[in-house]
Amino acid sequence: MDEIRIIEIKKSVFAENIQTADQLRARLKKEGSFLLNVMSSPGSGKTTTLTKVINLLKGELKIGCMEADIDSDVDAKTIAEKTGVESIQLHTGGMCHLDAEMTAQGLDGLQGKHLDLIILENVGNLVCPAEFDTGASASMTILSVPEGDDKPLKYPLMYQVCDLVVINKIDAISFFDFDMEKVEKNIRFRNPKATIIPISAKTGEGVDQLAAWIKKQVKNWKEN
Amino acid sequence: MDEIRIIEIKKSVFAENIQTADQLRARLKKEGSFLLNVMSSPGSGKTTTLTKVINLLKGELKIGCMEADIDSDVDAKTIAEKTGVESIQLHTGGMCHLDAEMTAQGLDGLQGKHLDLIILENVGNLVCPAEFDTGASASMTILSVPEGDDKPLKYPLMYQVCDLVVINKIDAISFFDFDMEKVEKNIRFRNPKATIIPISAKTGEGVDQLAAWIKKQVKNWKEN
């Protein structure tokens, strides 16, 4: 009984969310802002990666950042201090993901800034954020080497919904039992079309490729 | 409107779950099986840690293992192959956590084995599993060094509900910006009573302390 009620509510929540997400995408198109949804496990290096890539892109694109967390404001502060771009913290109030409505509320805080690129750092979680369309123009996930090459087998939806998979902390690869060929095979099993970029946010290796990928997405999106 | 409906459903789900969890605890008490709920982010080393600790304990305690995942059966296979203890895989059907009902279904698969210790490896997720009482006798979470020392600030509930926090991958500490004093302070901020045990599941350092902690919990629980 309860289960059926939950499934019904979930269906209605998902349907409403998709509608809100589509409205948000239309609004962003009108405003000329590309929204990139960044997801990963806790501690995969989302904030460090974003700091590096924003510093490479901020000369060419006007960038804003929304940092979602259940609690604390360490990430928004880090981004603002290390990149100088406009950065706001979104507290989810205990929620394990962001939906399109919460994203829209966050965007209101950045309105009128005429941003080319808005980066949304989602809650660190490989499950729930993959279920909710945020209204983003593209989605990426970060898998860090210490987490292991089997993650795409265990968290299917996350890898299915992402356009880009960044493999982070490759500078630590000799320290961990992580097989680059195996992880690529596992990612392809979930998503044959995903782009894969190995990086080290710490040393900077590969971050230029990530920046180029983002720039290309923004350019293509503006032209279409 | 929808939000209120969701909150009502959530309240009812939580209330029912607590009731089921209490019934499960009573059943486990009667059967003499201590249930340990193991939680963490994806890739923190739950399975490797359990493999090591089970091998230290299996001579003294009769152990069974339940491995929860959204998909794949790699963990149950690993535990069975590397420890020889009874190990079953629970698929959550896309769910981001285990609740008491799902745990009870898993326990049915281990029934009649007269186990002293049943280990439940929850879904890799720092948010949702903390919200659902599984009926466990005790709960622990693993935080691995590469994830960073700020995680207790970002995922409050996980640290509040756990009796034990294991800091894993300490052999890699020189490689990462991780401050042991800071992490202890952050854990204490969320949970002054939690036990903290630093280990390396890879090298085996500290795993004896973890085994001793588990043994003591089982002993105390059997005597009370």
Q: Chain A: residue nearest B94 by CA?
A: A127
Say which residues have a Cβ less than 8 Å from residue B141's Cβ, sequence separation at least 6. B38, B39, B40, B126, B158, B159, B162, B164, B165, B166
pLDDT of residue A13: 76
Q: A3-7, B32-36, B44-48, B122-126: which has the minimum mean pLDDT? A: A3-7
Q: Chain B: residue nearest A169 by CA?
A: B146
Phi and psi at B60, nearest 5°, equal -105, -30
Interface test with B, best of A18, A96, A171, A177 (most B CBs within 10 A): A96
Q: What is the pLDDT of residues A33-61, one digit of tens each?
A: 999 999 999 999 999 999 999 999 999 99
Residues counted in chain B: 224
CATH topology of domain A13-223: Rossmann fold (3.40.50)
Interface test with B, best of A6, A97, A105, A125 (most B CBs within 10 A): A125
Looking at the complex, report in whole angstroms how far the Cα of residue B36 sits from the nearest Cα belonging to chain A.
Answer: 22
Q: What is the pLDDT of residues A150-181, one digit of tens each?
A: 999 999 999 999 999 999 999 999 999 999 99
B124 touches A150 (CB < 8 A): no
A-chain residues within 8 Å CB-CB of B94? 157
Record: contact A126-B124, CB cut-off 8 A: yes
pLDDT of residue B93: 77
Say which residues have a Cβ less than 8 Å from residue B119's Cβ, sequence separation at least 6. B35, B36, B38, B50, B54, B63, B64, B65, B66
Phi and psi at B77, nearest 5°, equal -65, -45
A-chain residues within 8 Å CB-CB of B157? 70, 94
Q: Chain B: residue nearest A94 by CA?
A: B127
- Domain ranges, ordered by start, for chain B: 13-223
Looking at the complex, report in whole angstroms how far the Cα of residue A46 sits from the nearest Cα belonging to chain B.
Answer: 11
Record: contact A96-B128, CB cut-off 8 A: yes
pLDDT of residue A173: 95
Measured between CB atoms, does A71 come within 8 Å of chain B? yes
Record: contact A146-B71, CB cut-off 8 A: no
Sheet holding B164-168, edge to edge: B86-91, B63-69, B117-121, B34-40, B138-144, B164-168, B195-198
pTM: 0.91
A-chain residues within 8 Å CB-CB of B155? 42, 70-71, 124
* Residue with tokens 């945020």, as numbered in its chain: A134
Residues counted in chain A: 224
Confidence band (pLDDT; 50, 70, 90) for A1? very low
